[in-house]
Structure 1
Amino acid sequence: MSDVEIICDKSFSDVDSEILDRFVEFQQAIIDKDEAKLDEILTEKYELVHMSGKRQTKQEFISEIMDGTLNYYKSEIIDPTILWDDKERATLVADVALTAKVYGINGKWTLDTTVDFEKVDGKWYFTKWDN
């Protein structure tokens, strides 16, 4: 059973669906604390910008998920849109409602989310998550 829900009335092209599916896969991986999947999806240059402005590298982000500092329970992806830079780079823009316990605080936060993707060897990878 998935803990990730897409809330949207529009349909997506096949290539837009690839990116959206990859984001869903990522959201489920943070919920499941799937270190191997997170390591696969995020590029080495990945950067997370928290809503507080705090910036984290790939390893810092994964480490805080694995040690229980960041705990995600449910994700709702609301009205996602895919914007294209070129055939190898795209950006997903959406509101993402996350039910989580973050730095000891339980809550549900709706994040104004921008995720940058890059296609490498036929697969989409995250380079930045700005929320």
Structure 2
Amino acid sequence: MYRKHNQSMVAGNIDKLGALLADDFHLVHMTGMVQSKQKWLSEIQSGQMHYFSSTEDHIAVTELTAEHAVLVGQSQVDASIHGSRNTWPLQLELHLNKVNGQWLIMHIDASMY
């Protein structure tokens, strides 16, 4: 899920990315800003948030049950966010639930490592 998320984000494929996210998904950016699924996808589509690359450093599953998982992924992410381009050491904590037999990302907490 982490790799599919990053690949879709870098490709700018909001359809594939959106399919990985729960309808009530939210993203907490490293700044503390909270974005809904719709807002985040619209900013990717408009180019306000553009992801050039994501180079994976580390992934760990920290919780896992039949219906819930928490995954922590660390990647070097080259992105332009609202006109400011940088490569960030980005840690994403993905909270996933199994919904109707399919894993969905419920929310992501982003920080730097």
Amino acid across the alignment from 2:91:
D
Inter-partner Cα distance in structure 2 for 1:110 and 1:99 = 9
AA aligned to 2:62 is L
1:27 pairs with 2:6: yes
Decide which structure has greater strand share: 2
Give TM-score scaled by structure 2 length. 0.90
The CA deviation at 1:67 is 0.2
Structure 2: tracts of 5 or more residues without a match: none
Name the residue aligned to 1:92.
71
The code of the aligned residue for 1:78 comes to D
Once the two structures are superposed, residues 19-65 of structure 1 have per-residue CA deviations (whole angstroms, 9 ceiling, x without a partner) of xxx21111111111112112211101111011111000000000000
Task: Spell out, residue by residue over 1:68-94, the C-alpha distance to the aligned partner (whole angstroms, 9 max, x if none).
Answer: 000001112222110225211101113
Give the TM-score, by structure 1 length: 0.78
Q: For this pair of structures, how many residues does the alignment match?
A: 110
Q: Could you tell me which amino acid in structure 1 is paired with residue 82 of structure 2?
A: Y
- Partner SS for 1:61: helix
Q: Structure 1 stretches of 5 or more lacking a match?
A: 1-21
For the pair 1:38 / 2:1, whether they are aligned, the reply is no
Measure, in 1, the Cα distance between the counterparts of 2:100 and 2:47: 33
2: CA distance between counterparts of 1:77 and 1:126? 18
Mark the structure with the bigger radius of gyration. 1
Q: In the alignment, what sits opposite 1:53?
A: 32
* Identity level (%): 28
- Quote the residue 1:13 is aligned against: none
Contact kept in structure 1, 2:62 and 2:69, CA below 8 Å: yes
8 Å contact from structure 2 (residues 2, 73) kept in 1: no
Aligned alpha-carbon RMSD (Å): 1.2
Structure 2 CA distance, aligned partners of 1:78 and 1:64?
26
The corresponding residue for 2:108 is 129
SS of 2:104's equivalent? strand
The aligned counterpart of 2:50 is: 71
3-state secondary structure, aligned to 1:53: coil
